[in-house]
Amino acid sequence: MRTTTLRAAALAAPLMLAPLAPADDEPAPRLSASFGVDFTNAYYFRGIRQEDDGLIVQPWVEASLRLHDWDGAELGFTVGLWNSIHGDTGTAAPDASTPNWYEADLYLGPTLTIGHVSLGATYTWYMSPSDAFDTVEELSFSIAYDDSENPLLFGVALNPHAALAIELGDHAADGLDTGVYLELGVEPSVTFDDGCLHGSTLAFPVTVGLSLDDYYESGTHSDAFGYADAGARLDVPLPLDESWGSWTLSVGVHALVLGEAASDLNAGDDVEVIGTVGVSAAF
């Protein structure tokens, strides 16, 4: 069950395609791809604990196709695979053939970008090759606004987003009833124009996860408030030849504050601090 790591989660904001028109006026590529890997000390999915012991490695890959362009708008389609591989196999089924492969998420869907607004719909299969949990299916809708050119707050871009996720089928992220999830967030950021961090971006993502219907349940609690997440992330472009694509090193730390139901699912702990480092490439 994918969460927000150093890359933007697919649910948190619609996946952005390449710019509508490159600086040299050459046609933008129809197909783009990216991949990466993150290393973290703990994995929480929307505030619900998945693993906080041992080595956690989360590789991912995705591809986007530009389907159609209009004046100031574009329609694209994205497909991706996100994974979580754990050194601790305590959650795996006894007869699992791949006990370290905790999770594999397949997601796909269209994105419509109109000016600075992006609208997305994503269908996700949250699967566990180690049989740690039953497959959860989800349909989500998201909206994001890129205010980097015209910042909303005293010259600071907020990059707000919202997302609505509806669990389908018979299984849920909390292991109980299927539910409906609402996410609200912003990601203020600043890009360094000079110095040793030239071209790097420092972001301060803040996210709140809420239950609209039966999303956060623990057996003793059923809460509207799921979690709040605040952190800092530094994205540093790596000095590689452009023929190898655009590579980025990311380092981040964030704190989770959990509601009662999420805390119950986390052995009663209601605050967690998570650190992550990762590298990604885009082509």
Determine contact, residues 181/46, Cβ cutoff 8 Å. Answer: yes
Q: Taking residues 134-143, report their average pLDDT.
A: 98
* 68 falls within a domain: yes
Q: Which residue has the higher pLDDT, 4 or 202?
A: 202
pLDDT at 15 over 70: no
Look at residue 13 and tell me whether its pLDDT is greater than 80. no
Residue 172 to residue 218: CA distance in whole angstroms: 12
Number of separate domains in the chain: 1
Q: Does residue 177 belong to any structural domain of this protein? A: yes
Mean pLDDT value across the chain: 90
CA–CA distance, 177 with 155 (Å, rounded to integer): 44
In this predicted structure, the answer to whether residue 14 has a pLDDT above a threshold of 60 is no
pLDDT at 151: 84
In a domain, 4, yes or no: no
pLDDT score for 7: 37
Per-residue pLDDT for 23 more than 90? no
User: What pLDDT does 221 receive?
Assistant: 77
Closest by CA position to 59, among listed 40, 91, 83, 75: 83
Closest CA to 174 of 129, 227, 96: 227
The pLDDT-based confidence of 67 (bands split at 50, 70, 90) is very high
Ranges of beta strands (E only) in 71-100 are 73-86
- Provide the pLDDT for residue 24: 54
What six digits make up the tokens of 119?
């609208």
Residue 186 lies in a domain: yes
CB 1 within 8 A of CB 136: yes
214-269 confidence digits (pLDDT tens) = 999 987 777 899 999 999 999 999 999 988 999 999 999 999 999 999 999 999 99
Cα–Cα dist 98/90, whole Å: 12
Give tens-digit pLDDT for 29-57: 899 999 999 999 999 999 999 999 999 99
Is residue 161's pLDDT more than 90? Answer: yes
Please report whether residue 277 resides in a domain: yes
Residues of the domain holding 100: 31-282
Say if 161 falls within a structural domain. yes
pTM above 0.75, yes or no: yes
Q: Over 80: is that where the pLDDT of 86 sits?
A: yes
Q: Quick check: is 12 in a domain?
A: no
Q: Is residue 216 part of a domain?
A: yes
CATH of the domain at 43: 2.40.160.40
